[in-house]
């Protein structure tokens, strides 16, 4: 049985917990931008329920052009107004360099990717940079934006000043 077969079977089990249909617009008018890290169960650690928030995830929780696209849809079509960023300790992008990433891709595929991985050295600085990008995006109507770092060793969320 593959991992995906296990997931499909798990969904059958989960139907017993399915809360039923809820509106498409997030009830708490919040969008979460977070890293894809497998150790961050965002709904649980943020106290979110089904239908409460949009959750945008990518490697590093970076604010890319596609993140801005999703936030614009979230805000203008579905009414969210707050954004919370969730980066974390022990991030894969905090441990690698752009050159290591490009070299690894090239070694495996023969091609160097044209885009950066988003590697960073300063965790809090990376959160602040993400906040700045969202604040400066001219087509967003964000009313509140806050940045956090999740500690994968303790489960605690720390706000970045």
Residue placing its CB nearer to Zn ion in the complex, 95 or 146: 95
Bin 112: left if φ > 0, else alpha if -120 < ψ < 50, else beta: beta
The answer to whether residue 37 forms part of the interface with Zn ion (CB under 5 A) is yes
The answer to whether residue 53 forms part of the interface with Zn ion (CB under 5 A) is no
Specify the stretch interacting with Zn ion by CB under 5 A; choose among 9-17, 35-43, 48-56, 147-155.
35-43
87 annotated ligand-binding residue: no
- DSSP class of 121: S
The answer to whether residue 35 forms part of the interface with Zn ion (CB under 5 A) is yes
The answer to whether residue 126 forms part of the interface with Zn ion (CB under 5 A) is no
Residue 29 to residue 25: CA distance in whole angstroms: 8
10 Å Cβ neighbour count for 34? Answer: 22
List binders of Zn ion among 77-106 (CB under 5 A): 91
Tally the residues of the chain.
161
Q: What's the min distance (Å) between Cβ of 88 and Zn ion?
A: 6
123 Cβ contact list (under 8 Å, min separation 6): 87, 89, 91, 94, 149
Residues belonging to the binding site for Zn(2+) are: 35, 37, 88, 91
Query: Which chain residues interact with Zn ion by CB under 5 A?
Result: 35, 37, 91
């Amino acid at each position: 049985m593959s991992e995906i077969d296990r997931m499909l079977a798990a969904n059958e089990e989960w139907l017993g917990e399915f809360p039923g249909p809820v509106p498409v617009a997030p009830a708490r008018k919040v969008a979460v931008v977070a890293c894809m890290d497998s150790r961050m169960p965002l709904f649980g650690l943020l106290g979110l329920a089904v239908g409460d928030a949009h959750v945008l995830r990518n490697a590093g929780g970076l604010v890319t052009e596609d993140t801005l696209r999703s936030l614009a849809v979230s805000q203008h079509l579905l009414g969210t107004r707050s954004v919370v960023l969730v980066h974390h300790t022990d991030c894969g992008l905090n441990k690698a360099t752009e050159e290591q990433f490009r070299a690894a891709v090239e070694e495996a595929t023969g091609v160097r990717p044209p885009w950066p991985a988003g590697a960073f050295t300063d965790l809090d600085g990376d959160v602040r940079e993400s906040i700045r990008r969202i604040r400066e995006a001219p087509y967003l109507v964000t009313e509140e934006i806050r940045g956090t770092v999740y500690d994968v060793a303790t489960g605690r969320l720390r706000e970045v000043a």
